[in-house]
Amino acid sequence: MLEEKLKWPLFILRLGVFIVMFIWTLDKFVRPEHTSAVFQKFYLMPALSNGISYLIGTIQALIVIGFVIGFKKRFTYGFILILHGVSTLSSYSQYFHPWDGPNILFFAAWPMLSSILALYMLRNYDKLLTVD
């Protein structure tokens, strides 16, 4: 049965994406100044206060936790897909200069984006350790 064959690979993908998203979420609490710098550079926003960084982190944490437990998959998986998609595309200038500084690391965003897209497309089969 297809569903039986997919349960572990989809769970592993979901767990892997969660680990990255969770670390990025924690960063908003541990280094709010980094969050502000990222928003300024990649999203062309003014500097964020620590409070705004914590608010963004709290909202993101709720969605990331919902994602890892498979709650409301259409919303949580979709939100993670959009969030990472915007992040990946907003870094476009780094892709033109891959050998400058740490820019080569930005290319890791593409396989992760592919993983999230696959999870979103197969979300109805992703049932291992989910609450839905």
Q: How far apart are CA 8 and CA 85, in angstroms?
A: 24
Q: What is the pLDDT of residues 9-36, one digit of tens each?
A: 999 999 999 999 999 999 999 999 999 9
Q: Where are the domains of the chain?
A: 2-121
Q: What is the pLDDT of residues 40-97, one digit of tens each?
A: 999 999 999 999 999 999 999 999 999 999 999 999 999 999 999 999 999 999 999 9
- Secondary structure (DSSP) of 80-110: HHHHHHHHHHHTHHHHT-TTSTTGGGGGGHH
Q: Band of the pLDDT at 110, cuts 50, 70, 90?
A: very high
Is the distance from CB of 53 to CB of 35 less than 8 angstroms?
A: yes
pLDDT of residue 68: 98
CB burial readout 36-54, b (16+ within 10 A) else e: bebbeebeeeeebeeebbe
pLDDT of residue 69: 98
Mean pLDDT of 99-121: 97
In the predicted structure, residue 105 carries a pLDDT above the cut 80: yes
Q: How far apart are CA 132 and CA 127, in angstroms?
A: 8
Q: How far apart are CA 23 and CA 21, in angstroms?
A: 5
pLDDT of residue 60: 98
Tokens encoding 37: 């710098």
Q: How far apart are CA 122 and CA 99, in angstroms?
A: 35
pTM of the full structure: 0.94
pLDDT of residue 132: 75
Q: What is the mean pLDDT of the chain?
A: 97
Question: Residue 14 burial (CB < 10 Å; 0-12/13-18/19+)?
Answer: buried
Q: How far apart are CA 52 and CA 90, in angstroms?
A: 20
